Amino acid sequence: MSSLNIRPTDDKDDLVNRPTIKSANITDGILPQFVLLSTLLLKVDTRNDFYCGLSTGNERRVHHAQRLMEEDPLIPKKDHNKNVIESVSGIGNVYYKYSSDDMFTGAHVAELGADHSGGNITVRQSPRKESQKNKDSMKTKFKEWGIDLKWVALFPHIDDFNGREPGQNFLGSVSRTVIDDNIIGGLPVECVTKRRMTMTFCQRKVHEDTEQREMCASKIHEVLWRWKNNPAGTKQNDDDIKEYAKQIRYAATKDLFYKATHHNKCLYYSIFSTGQRKVAERFQLGLYRQVEALATLVHCNGPDMHHLYFNHLLTVDKLPMDLVGADFIRYCTSKEGGKSVMSKGEGIRHQPHWRLPYLKAEMLYGLRVLLSVIDDVNSGQLSREDAFKRIKEIKWVGGLMANHLFAVSILHGLIAKHKLQAFPEVASMLCSVVRKRLFENDDGTTDEHIRKAMA
């Protein structure tokens, strides 16, 4: 009976996905037990050594533990302030006692486990689930220690989501054992059944993660707000978009020219998608060949060489039979292409792998991965998270290059309009820059904290 649900809420102001109470726990009678267990805990811990040993503990209680109470309208207001606990779970055990004073539980033969995926605690068959694996590993340990499994009353419950800060990293437990007068079928008459009900309570580390994400998001948003409202000394493109389009249309040369980065990166990505689209239309390319053209981005540090190559393809009568990526590298490294795939700029991120060979077998595998991602994203079989994970199987593709590939594929029409465009991945390199400049290289500010804060 968990108190928290870590799913997105409908609150548009919730930028860090604050945990909420599971709806089932509002009506199942578990919330009043929070108050009773809190009263017992504070009665035992008279010196605040066990709970809230730090001054921040009381502030945390207001933010989290008492907020849970507000979800249940039937709990009296006077009891709200009594709660200091964030999560409660119930565990039940059945013991069988023979007249010979031998007692056993049968836990070692049970194939049941607790299901933590839903809003309610249910008992399910779980022969190969995680709980069963934990039980199997503990059976091996007990045998190594010479302990007969029939004496094992409760197999350990593995839980790594509890609070970890001093004053919050506790796990409390209360229990009561009663005799069950009901005769269970299949057991001898001389067997007495005892039932033990246990309530465990703890704090949840999800709150600490949320608070850290809030601090991270607040700092990033503050810096962005200052930059947006005080552009002095910063490089921004303040040109009107229509004026920019007019410059392109009436430019005296067809060569690329550079302007300051525009806030809308589609203007940048359109250089890639336009070249690929023109070639696809001229040669009536199917999906496979268009995916080959898209994959040339893996070898680009900018638009220059990509633009030159696809303009070159528009001047030939027939598309090369070789892979488009292989022909792109061959063209760029030729005398006509300039003897390098490097576009304008330093290309610091690309130089290490530019010096290494790229096997055609690796290129073919990458094309298979890219094609599968496009197919499965369009069919709805692949989530945003899984799409980013799978596309990184392509050699030299990380978070930033994955953003490039998805952005161009969406502009080009290979992928239907998708939230991959609205929610790109915050690359590790950007996370490192943010951590260095805003958080003084604090190791506690992880990439995941920064990604969620910048979402």
pLDDT tens-place string over residues 267-314 = 788 889 999 999 999 999 999 999 999 999 999 888 888 999 999 999
Residue 391 belongs to domain spanning: 235-424
Strand partners, 94: 195
Residues in the chain: 455
Q: How far apart are CA 92 and CA 90, in angstroms?
A: 7
pLDDT class for 418, splitting at 50, 70, 90? Answer: low
215 found inside a domain: no
Q: If pLDDT is split at 50, 70 and 90, which confidence band does 415 have? A: very high
Structure confidence at residue 23 (pLDDT): 74
Q: Is 206 exposed, middle or buried (0-12, 13-18, 19+ CB in 10 A)?
A: buried
Query: Is the domain of 60 the same as that of 191?
Result: yes
- Average pLDDT on 17-33 reads 77
Residue 437 lies in a domain: no
Between the alpha carbon of residue 295 and those of residues 205, 292, 364, 409, the distances in Å are: 41, 5, 10, 10
Q: Are residues 175 and 57 in the same domain?
A: yes
Q: How many domains does the chain have?
A: 2
Question: pLDDT band for position 56 (50/70/90)?
Answer: low
Q: What's the rounded Cα separation, in Å, for the pair 293 and 279?
A: 9
> What is the band of 1 on the pLDDT scale with cuts at 50, 70, 90?
very low
Confidence of residue 78 (pLDDT cuts 50, 70, 90): confident
- Of the listed ranges 123-127, 255-259, 324-328, 440-444, the least confidently predicted one is 123-127
For residues 389 and 284, membership in a common domain is answered with: yes
The reported pLDDT for the residue numbered 298 is 92
In angstroms, the Cα distances linking 46 to 50, 66, 171 are: 9, 20, 17
Q: pLDDT at position 142, please?
A: 74
Report which listed range, 32-41, 59-68, 208-217, is most confident: 32-41
Task: List, as one string, the DSSP characters of 438-452.
Answer: HSTT-TTS-HHHHHH
Residue 152's pLDDT band (cuts 50, 70, 90) = low
Do 277 and 409 lie in one domain? The reply is yes
Mean confidence (pLDDT) of the chain = 76
398 and 346 assigned to the same domain: yes
DSSP category for residue 255: S
Which range has the top average pLDDT, 91-100, 431-440, 446-455? 431-440
Q: Which residues contact 96 (CB under 8 A, 6 or more apart)?
A: 103, 104, 105, 106, 187, 191, 192, 193, 194
- The yes-or-no verdict on residue 147 having pLDDT over 90 is no
Lowest-confidence range among 125-134, 175-184, 374-383, 417-426?
A: 125-134
Per-residue tokens: 228: 């947006």
Q: Do 242 and 317 fall within a single domain?
A: yes
Residue 43 lies in a domain: yes
